[in-house]
Amino acid sequence: MAYLFTSESVSEGHPDKIADQISDALIDNFLAFDPNSKVACETLVTTGQVFLAGEVNSDIYLDVQKIARDVINRIGYTKSEYMFEGNSCGVLSAIHEQSSEINQGVVRQNPEEQGAGDQGMMFGYATNETENYMPLALDLSHMILRELAELRRENKDITYIRPDSKAQVTIEYSDDNVPQRIEAIVVSTQHDDFDEEGKMLAKIKSDIVSILIPRVVAKLKPEIQKLFTSEIKYHINPTGKFVIGGPHGDTGLTGRKIIVDTYGGKGAHGGGAFSGKDPSKVDRSAAYATRHIAKNMVAAGLADEVLVQVSYAIGVAKPMGIYINTYGTAKVDMHDGAIAQKIEELFDMRPYAIEQRLKLRNPIYEETAAYGHMGRTNEVVTKTFYSPYRPEVTLEVELFTWEKLDYVDRIKSAFNI
């Protein structure tokens, strides 16, 4: 029987995502000047205020106020009428030194025996329903908001958009899990005030349906384009007026959009957030590593859909175990438990090995903090970092290394595909 599945995304200007981006900008700056930094940094944003708190073990001192303000301005909170503006908001820091008891459980004389930064379980997921091996509903939700942000920055076709927005896509699937059509699209975008509320709502809906959605569709493959029919139910700013938004409308906190960050409700989630954590925290590094495994398994043709779980004890290098679920889509005559054993032989899942394999001790994290950590484009970029206490640092870094398909041949060989 056909069924409906929904995923949502939030924009870079959403309060929780502002917090994520500030936390990850701090991570990048610490790692740029001291790659061995151990950092856990949380951010809270509200009307006119930014609060930073967390634990750090590093040999660099940063101008955290400037870093936070630069992020806020880049996102687009540059006007006083937003009640949250990068150059004028207060930035308060309560960052202090990391607990020596945690540090001694992680750091080892032999780096390869580095312990996990915490206990817990992490999940990675991949499906062949999209080119980037992501669930379609989430992928489309991210695309809608990225395109909306482009329209906002262009300030030409649509001139009244403010930074805070959300999108949601509902897709009908056949009983054999193939997308059939888009049932509904929800877009809520913050906007400038209009003189007449009725005209405002009509204008916003018209622009979203006739300008934004066609720009998104034009970037899609024909097989996805055909899902956009005239029967889609659009809910555009369904509550009506949305002038008060961003941190003035809702307080934002680091780590509150973990489903947006991962798979939109598909697969599973271990509960740990990513942003604000250096890669010794397996909440982050192991989630990236399991995505890398799942994506390479599906790309190798081992299965149409894969969920990978890994679990750790704090201070212990070797994982407690690896679990694989192919949802009955495996193309090899093996049980999922046997597949997991072979995968464990191919991928060293000790924290230090993950850091080295995926190059996670580089300043690559601010780019992850909006529009999803998974399904992104692997690329090399040059980034420059400034400190009032050290010479500036310019680095060439590789982003989204966990999205590389560099283990496909090894998996094919191991499973005789």
Q: What is the pLDDT of residues 228-276, one digit of tens each?
A: 999 999 999 999 899 999 999 999 999 999 999 999 999 999 999 999 9
* Rounded percentage of the chain residues whose pLDDT exceeds 70: 96
Q: Is 164 annotated as a binding residue?
A: yes
Q: Is 199 annotated as a binding residue?
A: no
Q: What is the DSSP letter of 115?
A: P
Q: Is 42 annotated as a binding residue?
A: yes
Domain span(s) for CATH 3.30.300.10 in the chain = 3-10+136-244, 16-110, 120-128+267-272+279-414
Q: Is 257 annotated as a binding residue?
A: yes
Q: Is 203 annotated as a binding residue?
A: no
* CA-wise closest residue to 48 among 13, 12, 92: 92
Q: What's the CATH fold of domain 120-128+267-272+279-414?
A: GMP Synthetase; Chain A, domain 3 (3.30.300)
Q: Is 152 annotated as a binding residue?
A: no
Question: What is the arithmetic mean of pLDDT over 69-94?
Answer: 97
Which pLDDT score is estimated for 10?
Answer: 98
CB within 8 Å of 389: residues ≥ 6 apart: 60, 61
- pLDDT tens-place string over residues 46-74: 999 999 999 999 999 999 999 999 999 99
- 19, 44 in Cβ contact below 8 A? yes
Which pLDDT score is estimated for 106?
Answer: 60
The CATH number assigned to the domain with range 3-10+136-244 reads: 3.30.300.10
- 134, 260 in Cβ contact below 8 A? no
Report the C-alpha gap between 317 and 313 in whole angstroms.
Answer: 8
Report the C-alpha gap between 255 and 10 in whole angstroms.
Answer: 13
Which pLDDT score is estimated for 401?
Answer: 98
- pLDDT tens-place string over residues 96-150: 886 554 555 565 566 667 878 788 999 999 999 999 999 999 999 999 999 999 9
Q: Is 228 annotated as a binding residue?
A: no
Secondary structure class of 20 (helix, strand, coil): helix
Per-residue pLDDT for 202 more than 70? yes
Q: Is 241 annotated as a binding residue?
A: yes
Q: Is 188 annotated as a binding residue?
A: no
- pLDDT tens-place string over residues 324-383: 999 999 999 999 999 999 999 999 999 999 999 999 999 999 999 999 999 999 999 999
| Range in 56-65, 190-199, 303-312, 371-380 the model is least confident about | 190-199
Q: Is 277 annotated as a binding residue?
A: yes
The residue among 77 and 387 whose pLDDT is bigger is 77
Which pLDDT score is estimated for 97?
Answer: 81
Q: Does domain 16-110 have CATH number 3.30.300.10?
A: yes
* Rounded percentage of the chain residues whose pLDDT exceeds 90: 89
